[in-house]
Amino acid sequence: MTAEAVPASAILLRSGNVRVKKLAETIAIPLGALLASAVLFSIFLLLLGKSPIEFFALVWTGGFGSSFAIQQSLQRAAPLLLTGLAFAIPARIGLTIIGGEGALVLGGFAAAAIAIPLVSNSAPAFLTLPIMAIFAMSAGGIWIGLAGWLRHYRGVNETISSLLLSYIAIAIMNFFVEGMLRDPSSANKPSTMPIGDAYKVGNIPGLDVHWGLAAGILLAVVLYILMSRTTFGFAARMTGGNPRAALAQGLPVGFLIVSCCMIAGACAGLAGFFEVAAIHGQANASLVAGYGFTGILVAFLARHNPLVIIPVAVLFGAIAASGGVIQRRMAMPDATVLVLQGILFVVLLVSETFYGRFKIFQPGRTGDRT
Amino acid sequence: MTLSTLSRRSLLKAGAAGLAATALPFGFAKAQSPIVLGAVYVGPRDDFGWNQAHATAMAILKTVPGVTVIEEENVPETDAVSQSMESMINLDGANLILATSFGYYSPFVVDLAKKYPDVQFRHAAPLWKEGDPTNAGSYFCYLNQAHYVDGVAAGLSSPTGKLGFVAAKPIPSVLSNINSFLLGAKKTNPAATVQVIFTGEWSMPVREAEATNALIDAGCDVITCHVDGPKVIVETAEARGVKTCGHNASQAPLAPTGFITGAEYKWSTIYSLYADLLAKGEPLPNFIAGGYHNDMLQNSPYGAGATPEAIAAADAAIAGLKASEPIYVGPLKDNAGNVVIEGTMDNYDPVLDGMNYLLEGVVGSLT
Amino acid sequence: MDSSAIVTVLIAMLGGAIRVSTPFMFVALGETLTEKSGRINLGLEGNLVLGAMVAYAISFHTGSPWLGVLAAGVAGLILGALHGYICKLPKVNDIAVGIAFMSFGTGLAFFFGKPYIQPSAPRLESIPLGNWTGNPALAQALQVNPLFFVGIVLAVAMAWALRNTRWGLIVRMTGDSAASAKAMGVSVDLVRFLATAAGGFLAGIGGAFLSLYYPGSWNQGLSSGQGLMAVALVIFARWNPIRCIFAALLFGAAGAIGPALQSVGISQGYYFFNAAPYILTLFILIASASSKGAAREAPGELSITK
């Protein structure tokens, strides 16, 4: 177990020069890891008789090579940002919540469900959308909050309960979407009533990316401040570092755990809201797209730092975006990208071990890390 | 609605040749300019089912000079598909997109067709209607006719008359296959029943195997299905010594003793037509659909499970369908006793596209 | 629901328990061993899927399904060993590496598994134990694959070995307190490496059961998360190999409820019946858990329960 919670507070205590070195380290190590995984994957490609040069050229073309490609990467990053936050926040308090997928699905479903009466009574969009978002965030928040509550008050392991709750959330959504709340005109793809173009969340001006990205970035910043600059965050991280000590010090551990879980669920629920309000316009089985699970990796690679989640989510978006180009141009199966992702993740995670090992990045005296 | 309904029925009747003329003149005006065709699949191209049926037929388009085919598989029905299609357009210069999964159409194909008026979109489900973008369109085969033929053969191949159906979801295109299978079976064995189990997912092999076993335990002696990849179901039934009818692609090799026949698409008919039109630089039709009467379906070669009488009856049924003999001959009741079809329905009547009932003789319910 | 319908559903649940439980059993046993040593491998889903593909491919090429089972185990072993090796590096988080391996393992399986979706490979035979019943449904439910028994024997052996052997003591001690294990001169890293590799081996075999017996086919949708769920079942079974067996059986039986109820004409709300394994597991967890009980039985070094 590495103590993720410690460095952030430790950094704050250090001087400016140390900070620069620290920053250099946080940039150099992941870059090295990226390079190493590129080399490993090139070997894989060479063994298959494919050209690594062509491959990485296509990754560039598909992920970053043009303003179109960049926008595609950003589009795909938007939901991952939010689901990444949904894993990272409970992780700071020491919980492993892998049920973001369920909170996203339930959030999207709640948003679409509450939209039905509002839209059919022609409520104005500026009222409808916030209400939808609030419902989505509440639904997701309650769902993950439940996992946190069960953990603290009933001793139910949150990893397993959040996973189970995830499957149950999907069943709930399917049950209503294919039954009571099914729009009769959604014949072969059972869905709730579409909210219609007038109610849809649009794109960020000048970009082909919906507002979910902006919301995600904003939330990441807000949550970063909450977790590293407030008493709440300090108490949460302390609880994550040592729950027993936190209890002994009289911290409201139960409150902190449930709150962090609810924040996490709200993030995932908001991702569900944007899936419905910005993309599908309705809730259906397409909400189950695996963003919740990918978000877990995003959070880990960002070391549960809300700010770092932003670039990591974009990187994931770029890899996903270039996957299609690679399939089409190189006639390789879609699983190629899965292999690349797997290698990349493993190498990036392995690179964690190098933090603090290179003298060049170290401050003059030894750090206060244990 | 009436207008589109009418025009659509007449379109269907007119057959493929007439269809081309009704399409608006668009896009490939520069006949000689190269065509980049982007094909999007929802699952792996070799799934022994829906995607494979498309991918195999797509090979025809690859042979057309001046046409480059680029393909992307495992694209979910989320905004991932609009991103894939946009990427094909912007990065690969695709000017014709074939979107082969139902959920791709709305909102993704419709929105992109509005955004890229110079690109043609064709989608494999009967969803395009008047008023939708004219650079979009639909193509579809009504597979229920082939399931009807399956039913005819199954009715004469099943000793008990108890047939089983493993279905993914209770949606019209699936219900239509179940009901047609029942009506076919009733044609040759009026006492036949079809018991249905919904798995709730398009691909969930363990549950499909469980459902197959449950049906066999309930006494069914012919099993058929409508899921993405029928391999598991056919193999499970074969292992238990029960007969099978296939779906989507020929599963005959998987069940050497019990296979009767199977319902198969013939996308190649539509893709050949597209290939012809593209080669000539002519526009593609906005709507093209059909079944046995215009060679868009086939039944898998009869297997050892089909009795001689069953083969004869199935051949006769195919001949009947080619002559547009109706499947839904009213009055028909659903399995709750309500009359759901009053008179006789044309095999392509759009009302059937909205089917939300199981006919009398089907054991099961929708919710 | 009349009595014959109830009998039908019960027989189906029995059959489901026997047919569906084996992969859960193997993955859960493998994970129990790994977690007993103080490490968690969340990536066994990857081992399961890769094992399923390798088993099918080898069985197809060699004509011997048992060789396929062995190969699946070896594939799982390699992934497990990699996981075990990487996680011994300082500051590397085992949960995260597990999730990365899930992606890596499934990716490899999908990538190399393309040519094996279509062909039919020789599959494992079952032992008919129910011919005496005269009831075809019951006889079918009692068609049991040898791996099922291997799993049960393994669980009993593992439970015994963990409690009564020197090796078992070392594994448990490593899992409960690395410091005291070190004090006894035990190489904590080596024990965990071996436990993770062995766990990976078992998960691979679980995959072989999927592709070579039930449902007995290789395709990309084969697993639908069984590996992940099995890891969760270990927590449910509180790190006890015998309880893993019961958890797997319960989960398998619950999975049969949905299709069986539909087959006797009860299909209202089938989404919830299909979700029965998850709902049931959650309720049992809530009912049986208490803040202290779970913590007492968890290996002290386990990151997920700290």
Give the nearest chain C residue to B217 (CA atoms).
Answer: C137
Contact C97, A332 (CB under 8 A): no
pLDDT value at residue B8 = 43
Over C45-103, what HEC string results?
HHHHHHHHHHHHHHHHHHCCHHHHHHHHHHHHHHHHHHHHHHHCCCCCCHHHHHHHHHH
> Which helix (H) or strand (E) element contains residue B165?
strand B162-167
Hey, is the C-beta of C224 within 8 angstroms of any chain A C-beta?
no
Identify the chains in contact with A, defined as 3+ C-beta pairs within 8 A.
Answer: B, C
Looking at residue B23, its pLDDT comes to 41
Other beta carbons less than 10 A from residue A197's beta carbon? 10
Q: Do A279 and B38 touch (CB under 8 A)?
A: no
Q: Which residue in A163, A165, A350 is closest to C92 by CB distance?
A: A350
- Quick count: other Cβ atoms within 10 Å of Cβ B345? 16
> How many C-beta atoms lie closer than 10 Å to residue B117's C-beta?
12
- Closest residue on chain C to A174 (Cα): C271
Chain A to chain B Cβ contacts (< 8 Å): 87
pLDDT in tens, chain B (367 residues): 333 333 444 444 444 433 433 444 444 444 446 889 999 999 888 888 889 889 989 988 888 888 899 999 889 888 889 999 999 999 899 999 999 998 898 889 999 999 999 999 999 988 888 889 999 999 999 999 999 999 999 999 999 999 999 999 888 889 999 999 999 999 999 999 999 999 988 888 999 999 999 999 889 999 999 998 899 999 999 999 999 999 988 889 999 999 999 999 999 999 889 888 888 888 899 999 889 999 999 999 999 999 999 999 999 999 999 999 999 998 999 999 999 999 899 998 888 888 989 999 999 888 7
C93 touching A, CB under 8 A? yes
Q: Is the pLDDT of residue A216 over 90?
A: yes
pLDDT at B31: 45
What DSSP designation does A51 have? -
Cis peptide before B301 (omega within 30 of 0): no
pLDDT tens figures, A84-143? 999 999 999 999 899 999 999 999 999 999 999 999 999 999 999 999 999 999 999 999
- pLDDT, one tens digit per residue, over A218-255 is 999 999 999 999 999 999 999 988 888 888 888 999 99
Report how far residue A201's alpha carbon sits from residue A205's, in angstroms, rounded to the nearest whole number: 12
- Domain range A54-331, CATH class: mainly alpha
Pairing verdict, β C127-128 and C143-144: antiparallel
The label of the residue with tokens 């070995």 reads C161
B328 Cα to chain A: minimum distance (Å):
20
Residue C92, CB half-sphere, CA atoms under 13 Å: how many? 26
On whether any CB of chain A is under 8 Å from the CB of C100, the answer is yes
Q: Which of B44, B75, B91 lies closest to A325 in CB terms? A: B91
Per residue in A13-46, pLDDT tens?
455 677 787 788 878 888 899 899 999 999 999 9
Please give the residue of chain B at the shortest CA–CA distance from A195.
Answer: B107
Tell me the Cα Rg of chain B: 20
Identify the structural domains of chain C with CATH numbers, from first to last.
3-118+145-297 (1.10.3470)
Distance CA C237, CA C250 (A): 11
CA pair distance A266, C137, nearest whole angstrom:
48
- Given a cut of 80, is residue A366 above it in pLDDT? no
Give the pLDDT confidence of C155-167 residue by residue, as tens digits. Answer: 999 999 999 999 9
Q: How far is C71 from chain B (nearest CA, A)?
A: 22
Q: According to the model, what pLDDT value does residue C69 have?
A: 97
Whether A157 has a pLDDT exceeding 90, the answer reads: no
pTM metric for this prediction: 0.89
Residue C288 is given by DSSP the state H
Residue A293 has pLDDT above 90, yes or no: no
pLDDT > 70? residue A83? yes
Residue A187, pLDDT above cutoff 90:
no
B132 and A CB contact within 8 Å: no
Contacts of B91 in chain A (CB under 8 A): 61-62, 66, 68-69, 325
Pairing of strands B332-333, B339-341: antiparallel
B231 and chain C: CB distance < 8 Å anywhere? Answer: yes
Contact by Cβ (8 Å): A156, C289 = yes
Q: Any CB–CB contact under 8 A between A346 and chain C?
A: yes
Query: Which chains sit next to B, with 3 or more Cβ pairs under 8 A?
Result: A, C
How many of the other CB atoms lie within 10 Å of CB of B4? 16
Round to whole Å and give the CA distance between B72 and C288.
Answer: 48
Q: Which of these, B98, B95, B82, B79, lies nearest to B41 by C-alpha position?
A: B98
CB distance A155–C291 less than 8 Å? yes
Shortest Cα–Cα distance, A213 to chain C (Å): 25
| Interface membership of C296 toward A (CB under 8 Å) | no
H or E stretch including A361?
none
CA A104 – CA A88 distance, rounded (Å): 15
Whether A26 and chain C come into contact, CB under 8 Å, resolves to no
Cβ distance of C100 and A297 shorter than 8 Å: yes
Instruction: Say how far apart CA A257 and CA A238 lie, in whole Å.
Output: 12
8 Å CB contact of C103 and A178:
no
Q: What are phi and psi of B94, to 5 degrees?
A: -65, 135
Among chain B residues, the shortest Cα distance to A179 is held by: B367
Helices then strands (H, E): number in chain A? 14, 0
Q: Which residue of B has its CA nearest to A63?
A: B87
Using the CB atoms, write b or e for A341-356: b if 16+ within 10 Å: bbbbbbbbbbbbbbbb
For residue range B304-318, what is the model confidence (pLDDT) as tens digits? 999 999 999 999 999
Mean pLDDT of chain A: 88
Q: B87 touching A, CB under 8 A? A: yes
Does residue A3 have a pLDDT over 60?
no
C-alpha of C51 from chain center: 12
> For chain C, which ranges sit under pLDDT 70?
1, 290-296, 303-306
Q: What pLDDT is stored for residue B21 in this prediction? A: 38
For residue C47, the Cα-to-chain-centroid distance in whole angstroms is 10
Within 10 angstroms of residue B262's Cβ, the number of other Cβ atoms is 30
CB contact (8 A) between residue C107 and residue A345: no
Closest residue in B to A210 (Cα) is: B79
Percent of chain A having pLDDT more than 90? 53
Mutation for testing the B interface, residue in C219, C264, C266, C272 having most B CBs under 10 Å: C219
A176 touches chain C (CB under 8 A): no
CB atoms A160 and C286 under 8 Å: no
Q: What is the pLDDT of residue B292?
A: 94
Task: Give, as one character, the DSSP assignment of residue B301.
Answer: P
Give the gap in angstroms from C-alpha B246 to the nearest C-alpha of chain C.
15
Determine, for residues B214 and C216 on separate chains, whether the beta-carbon distance falls below 8 Å: no
Q: Looking at this protein, which amino acid is placed at residue A148?
A: G
Q: How far is A104 from chain B (nearest CA, A)?
A: 14
C26 neighbors C214 (Cβ within 8 angstroms): no
pLDDT score recorded for residue B18: 38
**For residue C114, which residues of chain A lie inside 8 Å, CB to CB?**
333, 335
Query: What pLDDT, on the 0 to 100 scale, is given for residue B297?
Result: 94
